[in-house]
Structures are given as C-alpha cells and as structure tokens.
C-alpha cells in the first residue's frame, strides 16, 4: 500500500502470514484510521523469512523483539501488541486525551492481552510445542473452566467499564470516545463468537453494552470495508480463536458475581 502525507515514514507490520493472531489488533488500528501500512510477511516474495530475519538480527541485543507482532517505523522497532498500540494510537487519533486516560487505555489493553491468552489456552493448555490433538482431554477441562468462570468475569468487567466511562456523546465506548481499545475488544468478542458460539449466544444478553460496542465498531466505514476485503484473513485452526466443535460446550456460568 502506498504511503500518504499523514506519515512520510512507512509503517511495517511483521506477523506470521496466514494468521489473524495478535497482529490483527494492530491491523484494525491501521485500517480504522485509514493509515496505509505494509503487512510485510503477506508479500509472497518476503513471507515468514522476513520475520525470521528480523528476529535473528542482533542476537545479543537485549532489546531485540522476542516474537511478533513487530512494528518497524523508521528507526523505531517495537514488539508486544499493547506496546505497539500505545505508540500508534496518538498518531492515528485513536488515543484518549490526557496521560491518565492514555494509561487507562493501556491498562484495558493489557487486560485484553490476559483474556486473549486464556482463550488461546483453551486449546493449548499444556503447551504450544504440542498439537491440540496431543492435549485434548486437558483442553476440554480448561475450556470448561474458561467458559464457566473466566469468560463471564472478563466480559462483565468490560460491560461495567462501558457503563462507568461512556459519555452521552459516545455511549458505546470504553473510555468516552472511540479508541484503539474498542477495536481490540471488537476483535476479541468476534473471536469468541467464532470459537464458542453456544456460550456467547447464552451470555450476550448479560453484556448488551459490549455487544453494542462491537456492532458500532463493525459498522464504522473503514472497518466495514476492511472486513469485506481480502485483507481480512479468515478464521482458521492455526490462530488464537479456533472453532473445535467438541470444545463448544453448553455453559454453566457463574451467576451474581462481581467482575
């Protein structure tokens, strides 16, 4: 994609080709802002070797990235999704005003990071070095606990954040205005709907504000265009949110607990 005057220095995103993964949270920020960027590893001429070469560069540098997503913006090289978004948000007009609000946004993003990790571990509870098929009994137990206890805890928390912080001018937001954290919550809820449709269908009547935020984000013109385009990678069985029918359990939610 060609660069615009909004940033004369190109933005380069490095992530595993063929996967939404954590890189999708960064893509959504670029797409929502209409900011051109290069999704480097999706170029067939570059692919995963471009990422591996970046990871291998300066192997004795203690500040080198350990894993993707990685953002390169001129001389800036950043890893960790929340860190990348914290850097990008002011440049893309996706940050709230004031230091306290920016730190609150980062805190929410880090909470989503925890939520994503727990969702991933439903199908890989023992370790990523094993295939899902090597840990299916453990995955079933982990999913049972995730759906009954952890999913309601996180989603009730975000429902309460919307209720406490949304402004009359922007009621379906986490921080009183549209920010990158709204985009990330949209991605997480979309992934949960894909992976656990029974649980999400049963629980969504309790999180009407979260559902409303997701619908609002999905309807934003740039996001709607992105979701309808080939740039939006499809869900698959190699990413974070995986639809295994045997893990789509009927939920038994914790009721009446505070977030």
Instruction: Report whether 254 contacts 146 (CB < 8 A).
Output: no
Instruction: Report whether 210 contacts 159 (CB < 8 A).
Output: yes
Q: In the chain, how many domains are there?
A: 2
Structural domain includes residue 252: no
Which of 57, 91, 125 corresponds to the end of one domain?
91
Instruction: Report whether 89 contacts 29 (CB < 8 A).
Output: yes
- The pLDDT of 232-239, averaged and rounded, is 96
Structural domain includes residue 1: no
| Predicted pLDDT at 123 | 98
Q: Do 56 and 115 sit in the same domain of this protein?
A: no
Q: What is the DSSP letter of 167?
A: B
Tens-digit pLDDT profile for residues 123-160: 999 999 999 999 999 999 999 999 999 999 999 999 99
Tens-digit pLDDT profile for residues 32-53: 999 999 999 999 999 999 999 9
Which of 68, 91, 114 corresponds to the end of one domain?
91
- The pLDDT of 5-10, averaged and rounded, is 69
Domain at 23, CATH number: 3.40.30.10
Rounded Cα distance, 236 and 241, in Å = 8
Rounded Cα distance, 140 and 122, in Å = 7
3-class SS of residue 196: coil
Tens-digit pLDDT profile for residues 172-183: 999 999 999 999
Q: Note the Cα 41 to chain centre separation in Å.
A: 18
Domain at 229, CATH number: 1.20.1050.10
What's the order of all strands across the beta sheet hosting 70-73?
38-39, 11-14, 70-73, 76-79
Q: Do 114 and 240 sit in the same domain of this protein?
A: yes
Segment holding 115, helix H or strand E: helix 99-120
Q: Do 227 and 122 sit in the same domain of this protein?
A: yes
Rounded Cα distance, 172 and 122, in Å = 29
**Phi and psi of 79, rounded to 5°?**
-120, 175
Structural domain includes residue 40: yes
At 259, the pLDDT band (50, 70, 90 cuts) reads very low
Structural domain includes residue 182: yes
Structural domain includes residue 222: yes
Per the confidence metrics, is the pTM higher than 0.85? yes
Q: Do 68 and 118 sit in the same domain of this protein?
A: no
Tens-digit pLDDT profile for residues 47-106: 999 999 999 987 777 778 999 999 999 999 999 999 999 999 999 999 999 999 999 999
Q: At what angle do helices 180-195 and 23-33 cross, to 10 degrees?
A: 130
Structural domain includes residue 236: yes
| Predicted pLDDT at 5 | 40
Rounded Cα distance, 207 and 146, in Å = 17
Structural domain includes residue 22: yes
pLDDT of 2 strictly over 50: no
Positive or negative: CA dihedral 172, 178, 181, 187? positive
Structural domain includes residue 76: yes
Range of the domain at 230: 99-247
3-class SS of residue 12: strand
Rounded Cα distance, 219 and 215, in Å = 6
Rounded Cα distance, 63 and 77, in Å = 9
| Predicted pLDDT at 1 | 37
Q: Do 104 and 147 sit in the same domain of this protein?
A: yes
Q: What is the DSSP letter of 41?
A: G
Tens-digit pLDDT profile for residues 9-27: 999 999 999 999 999 999 9
More reliable by pLDDT, 180 or 170: 180
Rounded Cα distance, 109 and 90, in Å = 15
- The pLDDT of 183-196, averaged and rounded, is 98
At 236, the pLDDT band (50, 70, 90 cuts) reads very high
At 193, the pLDDT band (50, 70, 90 cuts) reads very high
β-strand 11-14 against 76-79: which pairing, if any? Answer: unpaired
């Amino acid at each position: 994609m060609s660069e615009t005057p909004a940033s004369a220095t190109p933005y380069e995103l490095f992530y595993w080709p063929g996967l939404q993964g954590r890189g999708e949270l960064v893509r959504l920020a670029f797409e929502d802002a209409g900011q051109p960027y290069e999704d480097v590893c999706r170029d067939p001429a570059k692919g995963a070797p471009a990422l591996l070469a970046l990871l291998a560069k300066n192997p004795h540098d203690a500040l080198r990235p350990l894993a993707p997503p990685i953002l390169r913006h001129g001389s800036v090289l950043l890893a960790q999704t929340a860190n990348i978004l914290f850097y990008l948000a002011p440049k893309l007009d996706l940050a709230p005003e004031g230091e306290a609000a920016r730190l609150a946004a980062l805190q929410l993003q880090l909470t989503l990071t925890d939520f994503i990790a727990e969702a991933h571990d439903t199908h890989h509870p023992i370790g990523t070095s094993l295939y899902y098929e090597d840990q299916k009994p453990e995955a079933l137990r982990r999913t049972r606990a995730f759906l009954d206890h952890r999913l309601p805890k996180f989603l009730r928390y975000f429902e309460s954040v919307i209720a406490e912080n949304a402004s009359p001018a922007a009621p379906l937001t986490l921080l009183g205005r549209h920010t990158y954290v709204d985009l990330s919550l949209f991605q997480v809820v979309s992934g949960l709907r894909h992976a656990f449709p029974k649980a999400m269908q049963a629980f969504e009547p309790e999180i009407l504000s979260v559902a409303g935020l997701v619908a609002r984000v999905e309807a934003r013109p740039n996001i709607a265009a992105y979701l309808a385009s080939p740039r939006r990678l499809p869900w698959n069985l190699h990413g974070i949110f995986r639809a295994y029918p045997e893990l789509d359990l009927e939920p038994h939610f914790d009721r009446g607990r505070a977030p």
